[in-house]
Structure 1
Amino acid sequence: MLDCEGVIEAGSRALERRILSWMCVLIAVNQLGFGAVIPVLPLYAKSFDVSQTAIGATVAVYGVARVFLGLPTGKVADVLGRRAALAIGGGVTVLGNLWCAMAATYLELLTARLVAGAGAGIVLTAGLIVLADIASPATRGRTLAIYQGVFLFAVGIGPFPGGFLAERFGLEAPFLVYAIMGAAVTAVAWFGVAETRVEGGTPASRDAVPLRAQVRALLGDVGFRLVCFIGLVGALARTGGLFSIVPILGRERLALSATEIGFGFALGSIVGLLVTYPAGYMADRFGRKAVIVPATVLIGVSMLAFSFAADYAWFLVACLIWGGAITASGAAPAAYAADAAPEGMNAAAMGSYRMLSDVGYVVGPIVLGWMGDAGGLDLPLWAAAGGLFLMAALFGAFASETVRKEGTA
């Protein structure tokens, strides 16, 4: 006799793989454009003759929209669907980055970065919701690891062509490329990604538990709060340290070109690509905490390595440590946040996680940029490392494990 349950399960796995494949294409395109801007943005902002704090603000403002759009994106994804939310994000990304490329003043650049950040925030939040929809707890670490690995590889490899484009065609060129990538994201979202929103039920039934009540329930979980803070300090190190301080440190202290800085980031992303699936497997097999705690510590170590780098070789070593650690830490915290979501609350959980994590995206460049102005380029990197070490200790001590060892495969 035909095993109907087996056929259904096989069909479900095939659909999951197809959706994951399209989501990897989408996020690779999106983050390749984003990565192309990374080594250029501080230099582009500096061309307007502004301070280090103001340079950091061009990174921070990108995250402001992301903070405030996390929960609204979850609502849009529930009402209009995941695919529509992704397509809207791609369209806003196009507008924001075209404006960045054409900015005539620092204030105009700052405003354009806000719009571009809104597009990015919608895409990133909706993407996590899709992945939470399709992955079971037993495979969530590996599913998110594949997605986050592609995400971080594209971010890491992007600075290399971005630096090349900037040197050959001007600092505006990477923003134009990012706009083109945003248009591609919209096309992939609409024509490639299948809808994962549960169609059964009316809007009223989906809203039986109000969004605020869902968020309050999630924030009542100590582990969920702590994993959000893990995301916050990681984003602080990424945007305040790697994106804002490290390119300036490389240029001023080590006399590196934009291409050399971009190559270092790209090299780190290759290491990250090698560790992404093993890290996801470990998160499923041994628990989320077994990956989150050591990876967070290693991100802190990479911040110190950038600070103490005496030449380009040590700069590359710091990039390698960063690439492996940030990729290993990419999937497990998101998987932990999704584990904490009761049935039907994926959008609220991932929207809240993105929103609270993105606070670090905003605070990091401003605070660490101010530290750079006040105390030199080493101080912000040391501060970021200290915050990472502290959060690793708190999460290890107080967060409950969400994976039952006997339930993993």
Structure 2
Amino acid sequence: MTRSVVRQITLGVYAPALVFEIGIGAIMPIIPLSATALGGSLATAGLLVALLGVGQIIGDVPAGALAARLGERNAMLVAASTSVVALAACALAPNLGVLGAGVLAVGATNAVFLLARQAYLTEVTSALQRARALSTLGGVQRIGAFIGPFLGAGIVYLFDLRGVYWLAVATSLAAGVVVLVVPDIAGADTRLRRDRAPVSLRRVLRDNAPVFRTLGFAVLAVSAVRASRQVVLPLWSEHLGFSPATTSLVFAVSGAVDMLLFYPAGYVMDRRGRLWIGIPSMLVLGGAILALPFGTTLAAVTAAAIVMGLGNGIGSGILMTLGADVAPAPVRAQFLGIWRVFADVGNAAGPLVVAAGAALGSLAAGIGAMGVVGLLAAGGLGRWAPRWSDHANRTTRRRAAERAAAVAAARGAEAAPEQGG
């Protein structure tokens, strides 16, 4: 990529992604507090938090259709604008119903923004630079989600809970303005869409069913394991009687390790292949989760948390990169919308498995189950990624190059007699 392209990607994708995610990260811990302030029970507060993920799942497939119809850049503008309205509704919510509707809408707009950024980066980067671009996007999102709660805490201290939603309104507006003023990269948003006939969702599902039936479920497992990390650390720390401050510190250390590794992860994926990151990530993360219930001291839990951060961090961008690798160019946005459904269902399912174990009387069993899922996810990636992605490893890249050379030679042989005649 040229320096001007890198600058445009930084300003047009990474900057709005960071700002947008700061707002989402800020409201995450505030949603349950708002629910209880409006008279809801703890169970109701938990349900409202879950609505953010539900909204994202609901919005995934329409997000793909919207990006395909309007273009990735315009879809981001629609998402930012709608997010402003939804967040304002949360800030002004007089009751739980309005708050829940606003949270659901925020989740759906987040799905559009996420997918549009992924599809846009896939369009404007080459396959050999794709992992670095997408892992950087994943890293930027994590940084935003890390910063958001700190800003939100400051707003609550200075003002009140509703002020955090207004902060998120401001970040959504800022993200939309940046997307609006930064130009596209040489028409990349439309060059593959021009003169393209609309393709139905049913056809995309039918044509790509073998991918979704195999690699799609590996993606679901990977997402479930990664999401469970957000739950197992605080729950096990609570089980051991650690103070909230200690638990937060352990979680922050894990998050810091996680955030440091996104660019090296992308570099290795581009140089060596996707499986050089995907499989180790799941083995390390799954193994650390399996080991966590054996930790009964602060030092042991902190060590497990650091290893979890390492495993999750080296996998930054792996799902977005694999999705970009296997998505057919003519229906890329629609395909990625379905792809994100698998990822978001996994995000919702992982914490539920841990919670189910706790509800049945064995938190350790729930945590251990997710560790096993991590090992199975590594096996699923190893089994199915080479079948569908030319960039899974060096062997698949070599075979893809040989196929391309054979096709080029065949075309040259066909053209030779015509020229001779």
TM-score, normalised relative to structure 2: 0.79
Q: Give the Cα–Cα distance (whole angstroms) in 2 for the partners of residues 105 and 248 of structure 1.
A: 30
Mark the CA change 1:228 to 1:125 in structure 2 (over 3 Å): closer, same or farther: same
- Per the TM alignment, residue 295 of structure 1 is displaced from its structure 2 partner at its CA by 0.7
Deviation string 1:68-118 (CA, Å, 9 cap, x unpaired) is: 322322222222221111111112222333333444555544332211101
AA aligned to 2:124 is: I
Counterparts of residues 347-366 of structure 1 (less than 5 Å) = 347-366=333-352
Does residue 1:207 correspond to 2:193, yes or no?
no
1:131-280 equivalent positions in 2, closer than 5 A: 131-163=121-153, 165-166=155-156, 169-192=159-182, 194=184, 196-199=188-191, 205-207=195-197, 209-221=199-211, 225-239=213-227, 242=230, 246-247=233-234, 250=237, 253-257=240-244, 263-280=249-266
Distance 1:96 1:303, change over 3 A: farther
Identity of aligned residues (%): 26
Structure 2 counterpart of 1:228, which letter?
G
Aligned pairs (5 A) from 1:350-389? 350-366=336-352, 368-375=354-361, 377-389=363-375
Residue 96 of structure 1 is aligned with which of 86, 89, 104? 86
Question: C-alpha separation between the residues in 2 aligned to 1:45 and 1:379?
Answer: 31
Residue 50 of structure 1: aligned partner = 41
User: Relative to structure 1, is the Cα distance of residues 263 and 191 closer, same or farther in structure 2, using a 3 angstrom cutoff?
Assistant: farther
CA distance in 2, matches of 1:232, 1:87: 28
> Structure 1 residues 331, 251: closer, same or farther in 2, change over 3 A?
same
Letter aligned with residue 221 of structure 2: V
Determine if contact 1:131/1:144 at 8 Å carries over to the other structure.
yes
1:331 and 2:322 are equivalent in the alignment: no
Distance 1:208 1:22, change over 3 A: closer
1:49–1:74 Cα change, 3 Å = closer
2:19 matches 1:29 = yes
Tell me by how many angstroms 1:187 deviates.
Answer: 1.3
- The separation in 1 between residues aligned to 2:30 and 2:374, in whole angstroms, is 26
Q: Unpaired runs of 5+ in structure 1?
A: 1-8
Of stretches 116-125 and 79-88 in structure 1, the one that deviates more from structure 2 is 79-88
How far does residue 338 in structure 1 lie from its aligned partner after superposition? 1.2
1:405 aligns with 2:394: yes
Query: Measured at CA, do residues 348 and 296 of structure 1 come closer, stay the same or move farther in structure 2, by a change above 3 Å?
Result: same
Match of 2:112 among 91, 107, 122: 122
Amino acid at match of 1:229: F
Q: Distance in 2 between matches of 1:311 and 1:164?
A: 32
**CA spacing shift, 1:262–1:36, aligned 2, 3 Å:** farther
Unpaired stretches in structure 2, ≥5 consecutive residues: 399-421
> What's the CA shift for 1:370?
4.3
Deviation readout 1:27-62 (Å, 9 max, x if unpaired): 11112222233445455556656356x554333321
Please tell me whether the aligned partners of residues 55 and 369 of structure 1 are also in contact (alpha carbons under 8 angstroms): no
1:128 positional shift: 0.7
Task: State whether residues 67 and 333 of structure 2, in contact with CA within 8 Å, keep that contact through their aligned partners in structure 1.
Answer: yes
Bigger Cα displacement from structure 2, 346-355 vs 300-309: 300-309
For residues 296 and 356 of structure 1, the distance between their equivalents in structure 2, rounded to whole angstroms, comes to 17
Query: Greater shift after overlay, 94-103 or 143-152?
Result: 94-103
CA displacement, residues 258-279 of structure 1 (integer Å, 9 cap, x when unaligned): x665554443343233321211
> Cα 1:325–1:227, aligned 2, differ >3 Å: closer, same or farther?
farther
Do the aligned partners of 2:21 and 2:141 also contact (CA within 8 Å) in 1?
Answer: yes
- Give me the whole-angstrom Cα distance separating, in 1, the residues matched to 2:257 and 2:333: 31
**Which of 374, 377, 392 does residue 391 from structure 1 map onto?**
377
Mapped contact 1:159–1:262 kept (Cα < 8 A): no
Q: Across the two proteins, how many residue pairs are aligned to each other?
A: 391
Q: Could you say which structure has the greater relative contact order, defined with CA pairs below 8 angstroms and 6 or more residues apart?
A: 1
Contact 1:101 1:173 (C-alpha < 8 Å) held by counterparts: yes
User: Helix, strand or coil: the match of 1:92?
Assistant: helix
State the alpha-carbon separation in 2 of the partners of residues 253 and 164 from structure 1.
30
Q: Which moved more, 1:37-46 or 1:113-122?
A: 37-46
User: 1:75 — aligned with what?
Assistant: 65
Closer, same or farther: CA 267–92 of 1 in aligned 2, 3 Å:
farther
Report the residue type matching 2:202 in the other structure.
Answer: R
Q: Identify the match of residue 86 of structure 1 among 69, 76, 82.
A: 76
1:124: Cα distance to partner? 0.5
- The residue type paired with residue 264 of structure 2 is P
1:386 positional shift: 2.5
Contact 2:134–2:321, Cα closer than 8 Å, also in 1: yes
Distance (whole Å) between structure 2 residues aligned to residue 384 and residue 328 of structure 1: 19
Q: Which residue of 1 aligns with 2:419?
A: none
Shift of 1:316: 4.3
Q: Which residue of 2 aligns with 1:300?
A: 286
**In the alignment, structure 1 residue 290 sits paired with structure 2 residue 276:** yes
CA distance in 2, matches of 1:169, 1:303: 39
Deviations 1:163-197 (A, max 9, x none): 45556655555443223222222112212252632
Q: 2:50 aligns with which of 56, 60, 82?
A: 60
TM-score (norm 1): 0.81
- Counterpart residue type for residue 283 of structure 2: V
